[in-house]
Amino acid sequence: MSAVAEGARSNGGLVIGIRPDTDRTAAPDALSAVVFTGMGEARNALIVSSADAVISVGGSWGTLSEIALAQRRAEIPVVCLGGWQVTDPAGNPVPGPARAATPEEAVARVVSDRSR
C-alpha cells in the first residue's frame, strides 16, 4: 500500500491511512494523515464504510474481506486489479466485482460507475 499512497500523494491526492495497529513507526511516510485503530482486520469495515469506491489490488485474505464487505454495499463500485476471483464449485466465476487489467482501467471503471 505504500506505493499506492506515494502515487496518490505525488499526484496531489490526500491520502488517509486507516491502520490496523497502533504502531506509529509502521505508517508509510506518504500518508497525509493516519487513523490508528488497534482493531486488526476489523478496521476493514471502517475502510469500506468510508469508501466511495473500492479498488482491490492483489489477493491477501484481508483484501478478500474488503471485497466481500464492499460487495454488500451495492451503491459503491468495486473493481479488482488482479487478485481474487470467486468461483462456484464447478469453477464458474461468481458474479461480483468488475475486473481491470491496469490501474488506469480500474480508476476509469470506478469513475464511470460513480457518475451514473
pLDDT in tens for each of the 116 residues of the chain?
Answer: 788 888 888 989 999 999 999 999 999 889 999 999 999 989 999 999 988 899 998 888 888 999 999 988 778 899 999 888 888 999 998 888 899 999 899 999 998 876 65
Q: Exposure of 53 by Cβ count < 10 A (0-12 exposed, 13-18 middle, 19+ buried)?
A: middle
Write down the pTM of the prediction. 0.79
Looking at the DSSP bridge assignments, the partners of residue 64 are none
DSSP state of 15: -
As a whole number of angstroms, the distance between CA 20 and CA 37 comes to 6
**What was the pLDDT predicted at 58?**
84
**What was the pLDDT predicted at 115?**
62
**What was the pLDDT predicted at 79?**
93
Alpha carbon 68 to its chain centroid, in Å, reads 11
**What was the pLDDT predicted at 8?**
87
**What was the pLDDT predicted at 100?**
94
**What was the pLDDT predicted at 82?**
86
As a whole number of angstroms, the distance between CA 98 and CA 53 comes to 12
